[in-house]
A and B are shown apart, each in its own frame.
Chain A
Amino acid sequence: SRLQGCSPPGPSMLERHGDGPIADITLLPLSEELVTDPSLQVEISDAVSERDKVKFTVQTKSSLPHFTRPALSVVRQHEDFVWLHDTFSENDEYAGIIIPPAPPRPDFETSREKLQRLGEGNSTLTREEFAKMKQELEGEYLAIFKKTVAMHEVFLQHLAAHPVLRRDHNFYVFLEYDQDLSVRGKNRKELLGGFFRNMVKSADEVLITGVLGLKEVDEFFEHERTFLLEYNTRVRDTCLKADRVMRAHKSLAEDYIPISVALSSLGTQEVCQLQTPPELLGRVASDEDLKLSDLFKYYMRDSQAAKDLLYRRLQALADYENANKALDRARLRNKEVKPAEAHQQLCCQRFEQLSASAKQELTDFKSRRISAFRKNLIELAELEVKHAKASSLLLQNTLIVLKGDA
C-alpha cells in the first residue's frame, strides 16, 4: 500500500563506507586533533531507528589501561547520553570545566509526519510527483538522522578529548558496560527539580552579582561575563533565524517538484530538463543546514555551558565571601575559629582552582569557537560556490539543448 511505501527508511540505513565515520563529523564544530588522538577513539559506527527510539552503536578503540579490552562496542540510547552529561554537570569536581553540551533529542517528528501525509493517498499528486516528493522527504529524513548521529558522536568525542573528563568513571561505564544501562528517564520530580534549579540559578546570578555586591576583581572574568551573556542571546537568535531560512529553502525545493514534473510532461516538444534545479536546491538547503544552523546551535549550547561555568565560579566566590564573613564573625566572638579558618581556606582554594580552571576553559572555548567558525564559514562558502557552479552548469546545458531544439 502507499502508506507502506512511505515509512521512514530503516532500520539500519547508515552504511559504512570502508573505514570512514558514519556521519561526516567534519561538518560539525570540532578541531581536527580530537579525531586523531589514538589513546582514546570513540565513534558511533551504526545507528538504528526503531519507532520512537534511536539505538546508537558506540565503538571505542583505546590503549588506556582503564579498559578491559582495546576495542569495545556497546549500544546506547539517547537517554544514556543525557544521563552521562548530567553526571558530569552535577559533579562538583568538574565545576571548573565547561561541560560539553548534551546532544539534542532525536527529532524525526516533522519528517515522519510529512512522509505519512504523503503516503495518505494524496490524490492531487501525479505518480512522478509522488516519487520525487518521496525521494525528497526520504532524503530529508536521512539528513536529520545523520545529523543526530553526528551530534551524539561529537559529544562523546569532546569528552574523550578533554584531559580531565576522559578519565571519569561514568564515562568508562558508558563506553564499556555491555548491558543495558537501564538509565531511567528522569522522573517528574527530578525534571521539575532541574527546572527549578535552572530558574533559581539565573535568579541567583542576578542576586549574587547585583544585590550582594560581589565585585568582580578579575577583569578577565568581568569581560567574559558580559561577553557571554550577550553572545549567548545573540547566537540563540541567529540560530532561530537560520532555521527559518533553512525551512523556507526546503519548502521552495518542494515547490519545484510538481513544477518540473508538469513542465516536462507538457509535451515532448517542450522542455523536459527542468528536473535538476529542484534536486539541487534541496541539497543546498540541507548542506547549508548542516553548516550554518548546526554551527549556531552548537555554540548556543556551548556558550550556555560556558555561562554555567561562570555561574558556578560566582557561586564559589559567594561561598568564599560567606566563608570570609563567617571567619570574621568567628574571630570576633573567638568561637570555633579553627573550623571557620579551615572552611575559609577550603573555599578559597576551591574558588582559586575553579577560577584558574575556568580561565583555561574559557580561553579554550574562545579558540574552539574561532576555529570552528572559521572552518565552517570557509566550508559554507566553498559549498555554496560549488553548488552555484553546478546549478549554473546544469541550467546552461539545459538552455543549450532547448535553444538548439528550435
Chain B
Amino acid sequence: MAAEREPPPLGEARQPELEELEDGEDLFTSTVSTLESSPSSPEPASLPTEDISINSNGPKPAEIILDDDREDLFAATEEVSLDSPEREPILSPDPTPAITPVTPTTLVTPRMESKSITAPVIFDRSREEIEEEANGDVFDIEINVSDPEKVGDGMNAYMAYRVTTKTSLSMFHKNEFSVKRRFSDFLGLHSKLATKYLHVGYIVPPAPEKSIVGMTKVKVGKEDSSSTEFVEKRRAALERYLQRTVKHPTLLQDPDLRQFLESSELPRAVNTQALSGAGILRMVNKAADAVNKMTIKMNESDAWFEEKQQQFENLDQQLRKLHSNVEALVCHRKELSANTAAFAKSAAMLGNSEDHTALSRALSQLAEVEEKIDQLHQEQAFADFYVFSELLGDYIRLIAAVKGVLDHRMKCWQKWQDAQVTLQKKREAEAKLQLANKPDKLQQAKDEIKEWETKVQQGERDFEQISKTIRKEVGRFEKERVKDFKTVIIKYLESLVQTQQQLIKYWEAFLPEAKAIA
C-alpha cells in the first residue's frame, strides 16, 4: 500500500526498527526498500517513463546530481526512472548514520504510489518536535546571515556569507553552528527544494534574485556605497529567504536544507550560473510551460480554487503597484534629503552675511538643524527601502511561487483527464477486438485497460492530494503574509515615530535661539 510520506530529513537518532540497507546501494534505494517492506510489493520496476516527469505524484527523487547532467532535472519532459540504479544520492556521500529510515507518518505528504518512489522518509522524533509546535508554526530555530566576505579576485571572485543557526531541535547535530555559503549555494538549495516540493503543491519560498550588474561591480572591486548597499541588500534578502524556508514545517525536515545549514562543505551548485546552458534551458521551459498553461482549460469544480486564483492575481497586481510606489517614495526621500542639505548650506551662508549678531547666530543654528534633519531624511529613506520595498519584492516572488503551485495542480488535473481519455480509448479498442475475435491481442488490450484504470485512479488521487496540500499551504501562506506585513508595517511606523521624536528634539532646541533674537 502506498504509504503517505513526507519527504523527510534524515535524522540522526535511529529508529528502533532500523533495517539493513539492501543491496548496499545508494541511500534512496535502501530507504525505498524499507518503506516497501510493507505488504504490498511495488509494481514491476520498469515504469513507463512518462509517469515520472515533473508532473509526477511523488516528490522529485534524489536526482539532483551534482554535475553537468543537471540539465535533465529541468527538462519538462524529463524521464527519470526512479528505480534505475544509476540514481545517485541527493546528499553528499555521507555514510550510513545519516540514513535512517523511519516509520512513515500521515502528516501532509505527497501521495506516493508504491512504485514511484522517492524521497527520503521522515524521521519520527524530529517530526514530533515539529508537530508539537506546528500549530503556531513556531519552531525553535533562528538563522542569521552575516559577515559578507569577498573571496578571490576579478571575475571569478564571489561573496561568502556566514550562515549561523541556533536551534534546540534535535534533528541537528549541534545547538549552534555556522557555515560559509556563497550566493549560488542558496540558489542551489532553492532549486533542490523546488524540484522536490513545488509540483506536489508546496509553496517553496523563492530565492533572492540574481543580479549580474550588482555582482560585477562587487567582483571588479568597486568599493563604493552602491556596492556596499548591494551586498547588504543581498545579505538581508538571503537571511529572510532562509528564515522563511525554515519556518515551513515540511521544508524544515528536508535533508538538503539541513545539509545546507550544517555541512562545512557543500558541493558547488553548478547550474545556477547566470548564463549557463542549463539556465537557458530553464528559461525555454518556463516559456513552454506558459504556453501550456494557456491551453489548459480546467473545469474548476472547486470554487475555492477559482476564488483563490483570482485573489492571488489581484494581490499580485496590488503588490507590484505598491512596490513601484514605494520605490518612488524612496527616490523622492533622497531628493528631499539632498535639497535639505543644500538649503542648510545656503542658510548658513545667509547667517554669515547677516550683520545682526543674534539673527546671524539663529540662522546658523537653523542651518545646523536643517543638516540634522537631512540626516534624518537619509535614515528614513533607508528604512523606507529596507523595511518596505524589500518585503514587497519578496512577496511578489512568493506569489509567483503560489501561482506556480496552482499551475501544477492544473497540470495534475490535465494528466488525470488525459488518463481517462486514454482509458476510454483502450476500452473502445478492446471492444473492437472482442468483436474481431483476436484472443492474443485481446489479452494485451485487457492488460492495458487494467494499467490505465490504475493510472486514472492514481491521477485522481494525485489531484486530490495536491489540492489538499495546496489548501493547507495557501492557508498557511495567508497567515504568514498577514503576520509579515503587520510586523513590517509596525516596524515602519515605529521608524516614522522615531523620526518625528527627533524632529521635536531638534526644533525645541532651536526655539530659544530664535527667541533670543533681539
Contact = CB atoms under 8 A, between A and B. Distances in A.
Nearest to A269: B482
Contacts of A83: none
Contacts, number: 155
A359 B121 CA distance: 97
A277 B492 CA distance: 12
B329 A241 contact: no
A373 interface: yes
Contact of B514 (A241, A245, A262, A378): A378
Nearest to B328: A255
Contact of A402 (B350, B486, B518): B486
A392 B500 contact: yes
A356 interface: no
B346 A370 contact: no
A14 interface: no
Interface in B312-332: 315, 318, 321-322, 325-326, 328-329, 332
Nearest to A284: B503
Main DSSP-derived SS at the B contact region: helix
Interface in B453-490: 482, 485-486, 489-490
A262 B322 contact: yes
Interface string A358-399: 000000001001100110011011101100110110011011
Interface in A254-269: 255-256, 258-259, 262-263, 265-267, 269
Contacts of B517: 370, 373-374, 377
A255 B346 contact: no
A251 interface: yes
Contact of A377 (B349, B362, B503): B362
Contacts of B507: 381, 384-385, 388
Main DSSP-derived SS at the A contact region: helix
A241 B500 contact: no
A234 B336 contact: no
Interface size class of A (residues with CB under 8 A): 35 or more
A405 B487 CA distance: 12
B429 to A, nearest CB: 54
A277 B504 CA distance: 16
B325 A373 contact: no
Interface stretch (B97-105, B162-170, B351-359): B351-359
B230 interface: no
Contacts of A258: 321-322, 325
A234 B322 contact: no
Interface string A215-239: 0000000010001001100110110
B326 A370 contact: no
A248 B332 contact: yes
B494 interface: yes
Nearest to A395: B497
Contacts of A318: none
B493 interface: yes
A381 B511 contact: yes
B508 interface: yes
A378 B518 CA distance: 12
Interface in B159-209: none
B106 to A, nearest CB: 31
A352 to B, nearest CB: 25
Contacts of A248: 332, 335-336, 339-340
Contacts of B347: 238, 241
Contacts of A249: 336
A241 B342 contact: yes
A191 interface: no
B515 interface: yes
B402 interface: no
A284 B339 CA distance: 16
A274 to B, nearest CB: 7
B343 interface: yes
B486 A244 contact: no
A38 B130 CA distance: 84
B395 to A, nearest CB: 10
B489 A378 contact: no
B497 A396 contact: yes
A12 to B, nearest CB: 35
B366 interface: yes
B342 A231 contact: no
Contacts of B350: 231, 234-235, 237-238
Contacts of B354: 231
A249 B337 CA distance: 10
A366 B322 contact: no
A237 B514 contact: no
Contact of B366 (A237, A252, A377, A385): A377
A231 B360 CA distance: 12
Contacts of A378: 511, 514-515
| Interface core residue of B329, B514, B517 (most chain A CB under 10 Å) | B514
A245 B340 contact: yes
A270 interface: yes
B299 interface: no
B211 interface: no
A241 B362 contact: no
Nearest to B492: A274
A241 B339 CA distance: 7
A266 B485 contact: yes
A271 interface: yes
A32 to B, nearest CB: 16
A403 interface: yes
B151 interface: no
A234 B349 contact: yes
A381 to B, nearest CB: 4
12 contacts: A237-B346, A248-B339, A251-B335, A255-B325, A270-B486, A366-B356, A373-B359, A373-B362, A377-B362, A385-B511, A388-B503, A392-B504
- 3 A-B pairs with the lowest CB-CB distances in the bound complex, closest first: A248-B336, A377-B514, A374-B517
Given A227-B353, A399-B490, 13 more contacts: A234-B353, A241-B345, A244-B342, A248-B335, A248-B340, A251-B332, A251-B335, A263-B489, A374-B517, A377-B366, A378-B514, A392-B501, A395-B497
